[in-house]
Amino acid sequence: MLKEILLHSSNNKGRHIHPYEKLMFVLCPVIATNFFENPIPLIINTVVFLILHIYFKTPKSKVIKLLAELIGFYSLSSFIFVIDGNIKAFLITTAKGFANSMALTFLIFTTPMDDFLYFLSKVGFLKEIADIAKTMERFILLLEDELNMMIVSATCRGGFDGFQNKVRSSAKIAALLLVNSLNRWKSIDEAITSRCFSGKIPYTKKEFTLSCKRMIFILMFIVIEVILAIRF
């Protein structure tokens, strides 16, 4: 999934927009609307980011799959409200999760991680954090490939036929993945040490321009949402 996300985000037409603009456009409304229980900002966020998904042609099947996973996480984490009999809180939390997921998936599928890491690397005290994040990204890609191979192998042997087999196969795959990742990390450490790796990762220079018109629109959008949340 991560590899597909990186591929789609790198080739999306929304990549030319400055990452800071998209980050501000996504995070500020998400943070602001989470302080209110008014459904109007949530509906506005959902509609706006749905339109943006369609306009920038994000991969529909991948977006829906990631949305389902995120919303499932929100629903499970807020199910305690249902147990306490507070159905309203459960619905509000799930609605906020859906609206937030729409915004975050837009950011994920239009902005590669490398764009953010490039700007982080330009800040002196954040350079090491960017290098660690880049290294983790590459390592996770290796783990994802190995996980997919294990799942295919277990499926071909009927490892996911029936509930008990699913649980048993999932536990075995998790254990093997942990052991293999530890062994792989030792091999990677030996490989980079033998090549005298300094720990500094070079980043490709990217040219982005902040748009005053887009920034004004983003600020107006945030202000309008906050006003609607307060007054209605």
pLDDT in tens, 45-57: 888 888 988 888 8
At 232 the pLDDT is 61
**Which pLDDT does position 1 carry in this prediction?**
67
pTM, entire model: 0.73
Alpha carbon distance 159, 156 (integer Å)? 7
How many Å apart are CA 105 and CA 4, to the nearest integer? 13
Q: What angle do CA 203, 204, 208 make, to 5 degrees?
A: 115
The pLDDT assigned to 85 comes to 76
Question: Residues of the chain with pLDDT > 70: what percent?
Answer: 89
At 151-199, the pLDDT tens digits run: 788 778 777 777 777 778 888 888 877 777 777 767 766 776 776 666 6
The pLDDT assigned to 105 comes to 87
Q: What's the mean pLDDT in 63-90?
A: 80
* Identity at 69, one-letter amino acid code: E
Cα pseudo-dihedral 114, 116, 119, 124, rounded to 10: -100
